[in-house]
Amino acid sequence: MRTFCFLLLIGGLLISMSAFAHHGTGVSYDASNPVTLKATVTEFRYANPHPQLYFDVTDEKGTVVHWSGEFYPNPAQLIQGGWGRKRSTDALPFGAKITITLAPSRAGTPVGAILTLLNEKGEVIMGVAGGGPGEAPRGGAPAPSGAGVPR
């Protein structure tokens, strides 16, 4: 499963890095140095044109860092991928455990562009696998059928 998720992340990053090129808020983030974090959702906003995810990351010493992330697919793109507001919100309730891969802020702040998002079961959430605001493949990249994402 771990290897599978790794390949999934790499695949998503390949897509996202190409879609990153030359576009929008991508200039704020460093897609060439993605970070993967285990996190807990604190807030999710399904907003146009920038859906946002807020989450906490606890380090080995128990220090909690409050992160924020922007999704690259906008709601119109998410809708085409089958990720409406209700489904997305249900997938990201307060307290949900996630594994998130981000292009981190070039400024070094705890902010990132969300490249890949997995729930506790390793399932892809919101089909997120890259792009820029108004730039992503429709709904992000599809999850492999074996990833258990409802269709």
Interacting residue ranges for another protein, rule: CB under 8 A = 1, 3-4, 7-8, 10-12, 14-15, 17-19, 21-25, 27-29, 45, 47-50, 52, 54, 68-70, 73-77, 79-80, 82, 84-87, 105-112, 131, 133-139, 141, 144-147
Choice between 2 and 61, CB closer to another protein: 2
CB of 104 to another protein, least distance (A): 9
Q: Are 137 and 17 in contact (CB under 8 A)?
A: no
N- to C-terminal Cα separation, the chain: 21
Looking only at the bridges linking them, the beta strands covering 97-104 and 111-119 are antiparallel
- 78 close to 139: Cβ distance less than 8 angstroms: yes
Residue closer to another protein by CB (options 76, 120) is: 76
Backbone angles phi and psi of 44, in degrees to 5: -135, 135
Q: Distance of CA 90 to CAs 27, 44, 46, 66, 109, Å?
A: 31, 10, 11, 21, 28
Shortest Cβ 39–another protein spacing (Å) = 15
Q: Toward another protein, which CB reaches closer, 17 or 96? A: 17
Nearer to another protein, 24 or 56 (CB): 24
Nearest distance in Å: CB 86, another protein? 8
Nearer to another protein, 60 or 151 (CB): 151
Supply the minimum distance, in Å, between the C-beta of residue 69 and another protein. Answer: 7
User: For residues 54 and 4, what is the distance between their CA atoms, to the nearest angstrom?
Assistant: 26
User: How many angstroms separate the CA atoms of 111 and 54, rounded?
Assistant: 9
| Residue 13: CB minimum distance to another protein, A | 8
